[in-house]
Chain A
Amino acid sequence: MLNIYEQVDRNKKRSFLIMAVFVVFITLVAYVLGRASGYSSSWIAIGLIFSGTMSFASYYWSDKIILGISGAKEANKKEYFNFYTVTENLCLATGLPMPKLYVIDDTAPNAFATGRDPQHAVVCTTTGLLEKLNRTELEGVIGHELSHVKNFDTRLMSVVSILVGMVALLGDWFLRSTRWGVRGRPARFALRSMAGGNRERDEGNLGAIMFVLAIVMALLAPIIAQLIQLAISRRREFLADALSSMITKYPEGLISALRKISADIEPLEAANRATAHLYIVNPLKGDEFKGKIAGLFNTHPPVEERIAALSGLK
């Protein structure tokens, strides 16, 4: 078992590793595409600039990007008294600086934390969570999120969200745009140009690139899923649960909260494949299509196991 300092160190190293792997990977893809189209050096430059910018953005602005795609708005003390004061109190207990607080207007109860370090941390919950949990349960959940902040899990998980998750989302998008196409044309052009058709060559090339990208992405999707799992490791959820109970000294609060959250079958609209692993409980449940992918992207240990582990702490 790692102690908290080793855990922090490891999370920092892994965040950096993922950014490095991302730059190398995208540049490599660019190189392959460049070789295929005959302009290899400019493709590499584009790949480097793109992946470099993305890595930079994923480090410095991951919190803003994630809050943006989740449609979260800032929470004030007056309107969300319990959320605000509970966070304040747990920060008092842990010695962490007060994070920024956000809420997502959704009745499905869930919560996540993001931000590159404790000084730039963000804790975000849904309005459903604040309505359905009492103060003690909320303490358990916020304690869990603050533990992620303290461990630097938030840095790693946010970087993974932006870099690895975005590749997965882009894959989805490419696949959709070639299969059905916004105009329904790229796929046909792709096939024709691959078959050696010379007419409308430029457009055909674009289609072909899209098509190849889509296939590459489709093949990559399971690997990416595996990557997220590897990077995130479900153990950190257990660790955050345990640390939460250490802060609140009341595991029952978190147990009851986990029960309530997992019993709620409503899927969270704001969550997607890139951000699902951030949440305290998998938000993609219920929805059949999303649910299937969630099985592939199983970044959360079963709630029953977490409850059993927490019960052992009593």
Chain B
Amino acid sequence: MILIPIILVVIGLYIWSLYNKLVTTKTRIKASIQEIGNQLKRQAEMIPNLIDSVKGYMKHEKDIFKGLTDARKAILEATKANDPQMMVDASEKMQKHFGQFMALVESTPQIRAVEAVTKLMDELRDTADKAMYSRRVLIDLSADYNIMIVTFPAKLVAQLLGFKEEKGLVMPEEGEFREVSEEERKTPKVKLE
């Protein structure tokens, strides 16, 4: 009969450690969303500076400037809404326009020679990298977390303590195949709600 309290203690310890693990993962997921937001905000702040410092050299490239400004607006909206999917979409848009801009700068030696511009470009590239890595962390963590709460026996504890599935991200650059499967995964959830 001494076995019963031992089993209870073991179960208690298991629930305890699992709860901590789930909460930690959730916190890290939140932190990575925050980080994506921070980096995108930084990016948005730097764009006007960048445009100002190169305007003199490329007056006729209005389309590119407009694209960058639009992407900047989208980022500001997304960070205000604090929605990771919106943020990622906005940053994807920014990357597209920024890529065109980069190509233009690379082919214009006078601009490349301006130290302020190269510095800003470096900073922008770094923020883009940081946003990308945080995004990956977010994806990996939500995948881990979602697997954790649907596998036995953690599933029981997660249900008991009310842990819900985290929304993943749809990555545009990863091709239609991934996107479709992501949609398929989501459909039953919509029915439930």
Residue positions of A touching B, CB distance < 8 A: 81-82, 85-86, 88-90, 92-93, 95, 135, 249
Contact = CB atoms under 8 A, between A and B. Distances in A.
A81 B122 contact: yes
B91 interface: no
B130 interface: yes
Contacts of B28: 95
B126 A93 contact: no
Contacts, number: 25
A81 B130 CA distance: 14
A135 B125 CA distance: 10
Interface string B115-128: 00000001001100
A85 B39 CA distance: 13
Nearest to B32: A92
Given A89-B133, A92-B137, A135-B125, 4 more contacts: A81-B122, A86-B129, A89-B126, A90-B133
Contacts of A89: 126, 129-130, 133
Contacts of B133: 89-90, 92-93
A89 to B, nearest CB: 5
User: Which interface class (under 10, 10 to 19, 20 to 34, 35 or more) fits B?
Assistant: 10 to 19
Contacts of B126: 81, 85, 89
B78 to A, nearest CB: 20
Interface of B: 28, 35, 122, 125-126, 129-130, 133-134, 136-137
A249 B136 contact: yes
Nearest to B125: A135
Contact of B130 (A82, A92, A95, A135): A92
B99 to A, nearest CB: 15
Contacts of A90: 133
A82 B123 CA distance: 10
A82, A85, A88, A249: most-surrounded residue (chain B CB, <10 A): A85
Contacts of A92: 35, 130, 133-134, 137
A93 B122 contact: no
A92 B125 CA distance: 16
Contacts of A135: 125
A146 B128 CA distance: 21
A85 B124 CA distance: 11
Contacts of B136: 93, 249
25 contacts: A81-B122, A81-B126, A82-B122, A85-B126, A85-B129, A85-B130, A86-B129, A88-B130, A89-B126, A89-B129, A89-B130, A89-B133, A90-B133, A92-B35, A92-B130, A92-B133, A92-B134, A92-B137, A93-B133, A93-B136, A93-B137, A95-B28, A95-B137, A135-B125, A249-B136
A135 B122 CA distance: 10
A88 B129 CA distance: 10
| 5 cross-chain pairs, A with B, having the tightest CB-CB distances, nearest first | A93-B133, A85-B126, A92-B133, A89-B129, A89-B133
A237 to B, nearest CB: 24
